[in-house]
Chains A and B, each alone.
Chain A
Amino acid sequence: DGGITQSPKYLFRKEGQNVTLSCEQNLNHDAMYWYRQDPGQGLRLIYYSQIVNDFQKGDIAEGYSVSREKKESFPLTVTSAQKNPTAFYLCASRWDIENTEAFFGQGTRLTVV
C-alpha cells in the first residue's frame, strides 16, 4: 500500500542529545514537509523540500536540520540547540503541483527529559 510512514511513534530522549525522526514515502511525491505541533496549536513549518538534494527553511528552522538524499526519505534531526524540543512532529508529502493535497504520516511524539 502507498503511504507515508513516520517512525517511531513515541520517542524519549535526554536533554542535550540529538535525535533523528524518520519520514519515508512511497507515493513518488516530489515535495516533503516537516511540521511541529504544540498542544492546542496549529502546525508550524520547520523545513520543506521540493526536490532531491534541495530544501528550504520554514518558519521555525532554528535547532533543526534535514537532508533529502533520496526522493522517498526526508529525515529530521532535532539538535541540542533546539530550546524546547518536546512536541508532536508531523511529516507530509505531496505532488508539487497546484491542486494536490498533502498526505500526512501518523506523527512522532518526542519527549525530552
Chain B
Amino acid sequence: GQNIDQPTEMTATEGAIVQINCTYQTSGFNGLFWYQQHAGEAPTFLSYNVLDGLEEKGRFSSFLSRSKGYSYLLLKELQMKDSASYLCAVLDGGATNKLIFGTGTLLAVQP
C-alpha cells in the first residue's frame, strides 16, 4: 500500500522558524517533492530530495531520511505571505512512476 502523512494544520509567528513533517510508506521511491499552494491556486514547486540529507534553498530547506521514510520542510524568517498549504509528494518509482501527494499541511503565520 501507499500512505503519505502530514499534520493537518500548524500555526507560527512572523519571523520565526517552522518545521513541517512528512512520513511516507510507498511501494517504491524515486524522490520526494515539496510544493506550496495558496488557496484556490495551483501548487508551486519548492524542493526535491532523493538522497538522504538536507537541501537548502534560501529561506526554505528540506530534509530526507529514506531509511525512516521521513522528510521535513523547514521555513525560516517566516513572512505573512508564507501562509499557505504545504504538500509533500513522493514519486513512487518502478515501471509506473506515480506521483502521490500527502494530505497537505495548512500553515497560518500570525503577526
Q: What is the interface of chain A, defined by CB distance below 8 A to chain B?
A: 31, 33, 35, 40-45, 48, 50, 56, 58-59, 88, 90, 92, 94, 96, 98-99, 101-107
Contacts and interface: CB of A to CB of B under 8 A. Distances in A.
Given A40-B106, A41-B103, A50 B42 contact: no
Contact of B50 (A31, A45, A59, A99): A99
Main secondary structure of the interface of B (DSSP, over half): loop
A33 B87 contact: no
Interface residues of B, number: 25
The 3 residue pairs across chains A and B that have the minimum distance between CB atoms: A104-B42, A43-B101, A42-B104
B100 to A, nearest CB: 6
B87 A43 contact: yes
Contacts of A43: 43, 87, 89, 101, 104
B70 interface: no
A103 B40 CA distance: 16
Contacts of B98: 45, 48, 56, 58
Contacts of A56: 96, 98
